[in-house]
Amino acid sequence: MKLKSLSAKDLVVPYNSRNLGFKTTDDLEDLDCVLGQDRALEAIRFGTEIASQGFNLFLLGEEGTGRNEVVRDFLQEKARSMEVPEDWVYVHNFEVSHKPRAIRMPPGRAKILTTAMEAFIEDVRAAVPDLLEGEETQSRLQALQEKFQEKSEAAFEELRQEAEAKQIALIRTPMGFGFAPIIGDEVAKPEIFEKLPRAEQKRYESDIQELETKLQAIIKRIPTIDKERREAIRDFLSETTALAVGAAIEPVIGQFRDLPEVLEHLNRTRDDMVRNFHSIHLAEKKSESTEVSEEGRPSSFEIGGFDRYKVNPIVAHDGNSGAPVIFEDNPTFSNLMGRVEHISRLGTLITDFSLIKAGSLHRANGGFIIIDVLKLLRQPFSWDSLKRALKGQCVTIESVGQMLGLISTISLEPEPIPLNVKVVLTGSRWLYYLLSAYDPEFPDLFKVEADFDRDMERNGAAESLFPRMIATQVRKDGLKPFDASAVALVMQRAIRMAADREKISVHQRSISNLLHEAAFYAGQDGVPRVSRKHVSQAIEKKEARSDRLREKVYEMITRDIVLLSTEGHAVGQVNGLSIIELGGFAFGRPTRITARVRLGAGKVIDIEREVELGGPIHSKGVMILSGFLAARYAVDHPLSLAATIVFEQSYGGVEGDSASSAELYALLSALSDLPLRQDLAVTGSVNQFGEVQVIGGVNEKIEGFFDICKRRGLTGTQGVLIPATNKHHLMLRDEVVDAVKAGTFHIYPISTIDEGITLLTGVGAGKRDARGRYRKGTVNEKVEARMMAFADARRAFGSKDTEKENGGNAKGRGS
């Protein structure tokens, strides 16, 4: 029975633009759902609804499936209806300055507090110095200083006078004070003192001892007096300041009376400012006069000037924007967790609470954060920090040094902020499975997987929605409208991308790129709509941009540098088809496969494997051939052939078993000595029973052989043998379909090796008759006869060896 080649209608899914029911995409409504991702969307819906801990999401799937856009759109829609989360501010901690306090407040209030505090500080800055530097305050301050100075001097003066009355001077010495007899206006010289009567000397000595005791008492009292002076001045300044500060802060207190935490901070602010205003003011003035840069910050956490009363609004919402959806594109440790920045002052790095910067977790708190898991894992410490934050349900800002315990100096330790965020990780499947397998915390923290598919079923609903998806994309991206013919070709292309006629690709990036490129060519033509021509042009041009390597390969074949016959017959030689895929562009490469046989020990040698150019699946395919031969031919005899199979002129690796049927045809040809048609190419794997099995890349492989044949000129007999089960995957380009339609190229669906060998040799494969023998002249008969001959020859060789061995022995024995 002659094998029928496929007809043109079997090679492509035809879309008649007239049947699509619209003229251009302008006639179509936007698609309000995501096509082909029902499973993933259901998972996202579930993951975002459930509030329990650990139900964070992992969106897995290929790059370009549009999962980021899908989840972002979904989350933004959902977030709009959610409550706006609370604002957070960091403020100075008046008790422990290196541990800034975090205060929460209703959304929108952080900005109000920040502005109010800045206004308050400005008010106080302007009003209080005038008050302090006013004539009245300065006079009272001066009087106070003098009072205490007089108090300490009075004690000295009293003692000095007492000494003077006894003709003794109180004198300053290098280390303090001393008493000395005075004669005239001078301290008595030793020689004069020694001339004084003994009694007089004794009197001086006694008086000086008494005065020394009193002086010691006075000196001991001085620190107390000094302390009293400082306290009195501070109290006075505080009293003076309190009124002005109280008046300035009262409006702020009035605004935040409903927030106890803020109120408490404002009260502390007032008390601290009243207590320290004078010293802060002086420090600021000094800083200005000495022109110290960096805004006069001090070299410690004791933040200087009035900045300590400011508020750092680390998370501030505008009050009516819904929950946040943050897309963290660069999830470094500090971008994620926040950081404490430093400024350099005179070679020293300093910081304070105003330099605390929010991380994306802070900004996403109360909402969602989307992170690419590969980027996250590439960043040192980010993954562990994120897990720690999720487990602890709080976000702590710390440096890497602090986190690792490498820094022993005191650093800023901002109070942790409670965390309530839904984390959405996006990444490839293998990363998801790796994390599931190797990170024991991962399953507890990311309990919801949303798997994005590349393809969807091509049913009626999909076919009616797909054009709307295109229309939506066209409008969203601001492209020219696509007419129905263009949409039809895009759909055909999407089926081709799915590599299955019953599926259609929903790979967003590829479709979007095609739309943009087609629209570009329409723009170049200056037409208002994108038509089929432009889509076709986009496909061809894209291939042309990528096909440098294909062109080189085909050129080498057509110039006979790489040997490949496309007509005639040859024994032990067949055209196989392989796929080369580089940078997302795949093409079929026809390759000559040859087989040679001789008497041997039943081994089929795969030369690719021997030289380690064949991958394990390829080797598996070749080993299956041995199984097929051994089980089908001369089953009662030992397999006694030695065969070698090789991909001629293949200098790279070979992987996959899609050439195993071709290898088998070459082997059968070599065994039967029947030549194979060289105008045909073969693809398909084979099992031990001789059934031809499905392979990948069927379209590219067919087109690869077609291209070579076309370059050499189609003879009308050329074609490709494909596994019959691959019929569903055919979505060939128009040129090939047209050739098939014209009968100049053929595609044969093959189910068994027998079908294939019959077609290739033009000789029937043959079946065993009732006696278990193949009909004479068939391929199988010839193969089995050759196998038997090998077996006999091997046996004969074995007998000769035995005789020789026996004869040798007899001779030996005879001598």
> How far is the C-alpha of 21 from the C-alpha of 754, rounded, in Å?
47
Tokens 């060289």 belong to which residue? Answer: 678
Q: Say if strands 343-345 and 348-350 run parallel, antiparallel, or are unpaired.
A: antiparallel
Given 480, 701, 710, 782, which residue is catalytic? Answer: 701
Answer yes or no: 480 catalytic.
Answer: no
- In the complex, least distance from residue 306 CB atom to other proteins, rounded to whole angstroms: 20
Comparing CB distances to other proteins, the nearer of 212 and 555 is 212
Residue numbers of the site for other proteins (CB under 8 A)?
134-135, 138-139, 142, 145-146, 149, 153, 156-157, 160, 169-178, 180-182, 186-190, 193, 201, 204-205, 208, 212, 215-217, 219-220, 289
* Cα→Cα distances 593→182, 566, 669, 783, Å: 128, 13, 12, 19
Given 626, 658, 669, 672, which residue is catalytic? Answer: 658
3-state class (DSSP) for residue 539: helix
> How far is the C-alpha of 643 from the C-alpha of 628, rounded, in Å?
14
Comparing CB distances to other proteins, the nearer of 168 and 709 is 168
Comparing CB distances to other proteins, the nearer of 19 and 290 is 290
- In the complex, least distance from residue 228 CB atom to other proteins, rounded to whole angstroms: 17
- Please list the residues that pair with 327 across neighbouring strands: 370
- In the complex, least distance from residue 179 CB atom to other proteins, rounded to whole angstroms: 8
> How far is the C-alpha of 626 from the C-alpha of 451, rounded, in Å?
41
Comparing CB distances to other proteins, the nearer of 194 and 803 is 194
> How far is the C-alpha of 464 from the C-alpha of 105, rounded, in Å?
50
- In the complex, least distance from residue 346 CB atom to other proteins, rounded to whole angstroms: 20
Q: Which residues contact 780 (CB under 8 A, 6 or more apart)?
A: 632, 633, 754, 765, 766, 767, 768, 774
Answer yes or no: 658 catalytic.
Answer: yes
* Cα→Cα distances 800→157, 788, 813, Å: 141, 18, 20
Comparing CB distances to other proteins, the nearer of 220 and 813 is 220
Q: Which residues contact 282 (CB under 8 A, 6 or more apart)?
A: none
Tell me the CB-side half-sphere exposure of residue 809, using CA atoms within 13 A: 6
- In the complex, least distance from residue 194 CB atom to other proteins, rounded to whole angstroms: 8
**Phi, psi (rounded to 5 degrees) for 357:** -115, 140
Comparing CB distances to other proteins, the nearer of 233 and 714 is 233
- In the complex, least distance from residue 165 CB atom to other proteins, rounded to whole angstroms: 15
Return the exposure string of 602-612: e unless at least 16 CB atoms fall within 10 Å of the residue's CB, then b.
bebebbbbeee
Count of beta carbons in the 10 Å neighbourhood of residue 495: 23
C-alpha 420: how far from chain center: 22
The residue among 387, 445, 390 whose CA lies nearest residue 419 is 390
> How far is the C-alpha of 317 from the C-alpha of 84, rounded, in Å?
7
- In the complex, least distance from residue 204 CB atom to other proteins, rounded to whole angstroms: 7
Tokens of residue 375, six digits: 């980027």
Comparing CB distances to other proteins, the nearer of 81 and 290 is 290
- In the complex, least distance from residue 135 CB atom to other proteins, rounded to whole angstroms: 4
H-state helical runs in 256-381: 260-289, 333-337, 360-364, 373-378
Count of beta carbons in the 10 Å neighbourhood of residue 259: 17
Q: Which residues are part of the catalytic machinery?
A: 658, 701
